[in-house]
Structure formats: C-alpha cells, structure tokens
Amino acid sequence: QVQLVESGGGVVQPGRSLRLSCAASGFTLSTYEIHWVRQAPGKGLEWVAVILHDGTNYYADSVKGRFSISRDNSKNTLYLQMNSLRVEDTAVYYCVVTGSWGQGTLVTVSS
C-alpha cells in the first residue's frame, strides 16, 4: 500500500536553509502529482507546492521564490528545498499523494 515517510525537519535560524525528504513506497512517485502541505502550530492546513508527473511544479505565493520541490525517481523520493526561512514557516510539513498523507516532519524556524 501507499506509504510516505517524511524526514529532515528540525530547528533552524531565520534566513537559513533546510531540505525535507519524503520517501515513497507502494507506488511509483514519478507517475503521480505529489504535494507538500503544512500546518503551523494550532493553525489550519496550508497547501505549499506540487510536482506533476511531467515535472511541472506550482507553489503557494507565501513560498514562491524561496522553496523548490523536486524528486529523485531512482530513489522514489520527493524533496522540498527551503531557503531564506522565516519564523512564519514554522510548521509540520506533510507530503500527500492521492489522498494519502505521511506522518509529517516538524520545522521550527527560530533564533
């Protein structure tokens, strides 16, 4: 069955970078559109980015120009490169495909 396992979260200072990973199993990642969704502490869900099967990607305005979504087909793994991090990027980050969600990884941006 579909399984998604995120990793790479942690505590980082404002302005620094972090890369999240999402290891997929039970399906071929490159044949689906895969999303990142985040949730700030105590807040609602926010869609962040998507990569389509043809490699096209889209971003929320709040992260455009700072975040980059990519995948490694040989590793069946999705990435989210997060640059110029801000305090307001603090959240649990989930990868999502066809309604299946990973368990999330927490990113805390704090000085």
Partner 1 sequence: DIQMTQSPSTLSASVGDRVIITCRASQGIRNDLGWFQQKPGKAPKRLIYAATSLQNGVPSRFSGSGSGTEFTLTISSLQPEDFATYYCLQHNSYPHTFGQGTKLEIK
- Which residues of this chain interact with partner 1, rule CB under 8 A? 35, 44-47, 50, 58-61, 94, 99-104
3 or 15: CB nearest partner 1 = 3
81 or 98: CB nearest partner 1 = 98
Q: How far is the CB of 74 from partner 1 (least distance, A)?
A: 27
11 or 52: CB nearest partner 1 = 52
| Beta strands at 10-12 and 18-25: parallel, antiparallel or unpaired | unpaired
Decide: 48 and 63 in contact? Cβ < 8 Å.
yes
Q: How far is the CB of 60 from partner 1 (least distance, A)?
A: 5
Q: How far is the CB of 58 from partner 1 (least distance, A)?
A: 4
